[in-house]
Amino acid sequence: MINSDMQVFTAKHLAEVLTIPDKYLRRLMTDMSKKGFIKSIQGREGGYVFAKNASKIYLSDVVDAVEGIERYNGCIMGHETCSDENPCSLHNTYAPIRDHLISFLLNTTIAELKDINISKF
> What residues line the site for DNA (CB under 7 A)?
1, 9-12, 20-21, 23-24, 26-27, 29-30, 33-34, 40-48
In the bound state with a second copy, the residue whose beta carbon lies nearer, of 53 and 92, is 92
In the bound state with a second copy, the residue whose beta carbon lies nearer, of 3 and 19, is 19
In the bound state with DNA, the residue whose beta carbon lies nearer, of 23 and 71, is 23
Burial class (CB in 10 A: 0-12, 13-18, 19+), 11: buried
Residue 47, contacted partner among DNA, a second copy, none, CB below 5-8 A by kind: DNA
Residue 27, contacted partner among DNA, a second copy, none, CB below 5-8 A by kind: DNA
d(CA 49, CA 21): 19
Q: Is the separation of the CB atoms in 57 and 37 below 8 Å?
A: yes
Instruction: Supply the minimum distance, in Å, between the C-beta of residue 23 and DNA.
Output: 4
Please name the amino acid found at residue 78: G
Listed residue (102, 106, 100, 73) closest to 82, CA to CA: 73
Q: Is the separation of the CB atoms in 13 and 56 below 8 Å?
A: no
Q: Is 4 in the site for a second copy (CB under 8 A)?
A: no
Q: Is 71 in the site for a second copy (CB under 8 A)?
A: no
The region of 9-17, 23-31, 40-48, 103-111 touching a second copy under the rule CB under 8 A is: 103-111
> Which 3 state secondary structure label does DSSP give 2?
coil
